[in-house]
Amino acid sequence: MIFIAGPCVIESMDILETVAEELVRLQVKYGVEIYFKSSFDKANRTSISSFRGPGLDKGLQMLADIKSKYGLRLLTDIHESHQASAAGEVVDVLQIPAFLCRQTDLLVAAARTGKTVNIKKAQFLSGLDMKYPVEKVRESGNNDIWLTERGNMFGYNNLIVDFRNIPDMLSICHTVVMDCTHSVQRPGAAGGKTGGNREFVPSMAMAAKAFGANGFFFEVHPDPDNALSDGPNMLRLDDLDHVMASLLK
């Protein structure tokens, strides 16, 4: 069972270290491997005035420092093909954002790094449609692929999760991750930024487990109500232990 956790975007080194310390504790407590996730740039924010992060160079250095100090594996997302090579030098998993999962050049660039490629299912695709992004990565010489479910959008600032997508995607690749926090988003529903309902995160995780998910993605923050990105749907860092315990029973 794979766990991915961390703050949505890199805000400060203090927050990264606070989260990393807790993830190391949980990794030892439960004997599982946790991938530390945070974004150096959030290129798909609702508003042009929204906080995006420190950028490629500074952000990757901060992530490298976390890896060196805490020994955690790293995952981050890339939005442009030219970012793949630099990010691949630092992180263990390159994540393709849901909106970009059909971008051929981005998939090929990620594949050619030789790193694990985690492709998030677009909000406008079915689980079975993900065979085509997977084919692009495989035909570029990389078979180390994960798929991530994050819900479907039909407008009206809401997402719907069809859990049948999980077994459908398991027929395409061996690792299917449930993004338990992005799936409770309400995109663009908070006055120029994304809202969400973090109270449903534990239920999303348990439902995904029932459908066969073997990976679980949680964006976490020590103070999500004051986070600079995705606060309403991020899980409180203090609550991650209980959710992991439930999943590992």
- The per-residue pLDDT for range 152-196, each reduced to its tens digit, is 988 777 889 999 999 999 999 999 999 999 999 877 645 555 677
Nearest Cα to 148, choosing from 98, 106, 114, 108? 98
C-alpha 119/C-alpha 245 separation (Å) is 26
- pLDDT averaged over the chain? 94
Which tokens is 61 given?
């250095």
Nearest Cα to 195, choosing from 143, 159, 238? 159
Cα-Cα-Cα-Cα dihedral sign, residues 87, 93, 99, 104: positive
CB 17 within 8 A of CB 88: no
What pLDDT is attached to residue 193?
A: 53
| Of 160 and 43, the one with more pLDDT | 160
Nearest Cα to 122, choosing from 112, 113, 132, 108? 132
Beta strands in 38-167 (DSSP E): 73-77, 93-96, 116-120, 145-149, 152-153, 159-160
- 3-state SS class at 207: helix
The half-sphere exposure of 15 on its side-chain side, counting CA atoms within 13 A, is 22
What pLDDT is attached to residue 154?
A: 82
What pLDDT is attached to residue 188?
A: 61
What pLDDT is attached to residue 211?
A: 98
Is residue 49 over pLDDT 80?
Answer: no
| Of 220 and 42, the one with more pLDDT | 220
- 3-state SS class at 30: helix
**pLDDT (average), residues 239-249:** 97
Task: Output the DSSP codes for 147-203.
Answer: EEE--EE-STT-EE--TTHHHHHHTT-SEEEEETTGGGEETTTTTSS-EE-GGGHHH
What pLDDT is attached to residue 132?
A: 98
pLDDT digits (tens, 9 = 90+) for 112-130: 999 999 999 999 999 999 9
Which tokens is 156 given?
């009206």
What pLDDT is attached to residue 19?
A: 98
pLDDT digits (tens, 9 = 90+) for 209-219: 999 999 999 99
Confidence of residue 42 (pLDDT cuts 50, 70, 90): confident
Q: Spell out the domains of the chain, with CATH numbers in brackets.
A: 2-247 (3.20.20.70)
pLDDT digits (tens, 9 = 90+) for 57-108: 999 999 999 999 999 999 999 999 999 999 999 999 999 999 999 999 999 9
Which tokens is 121 given?
């299912």
- 3-state SS class at 95: strand
C-alpha 115/C-alpha 194 separation (Å) is 30
What pLDDT is attached to residue 189?
A: 47
Nearest Cα to 9, choosing from 32, 42, 31? 42
**Single pTM value for the model:** 0.94
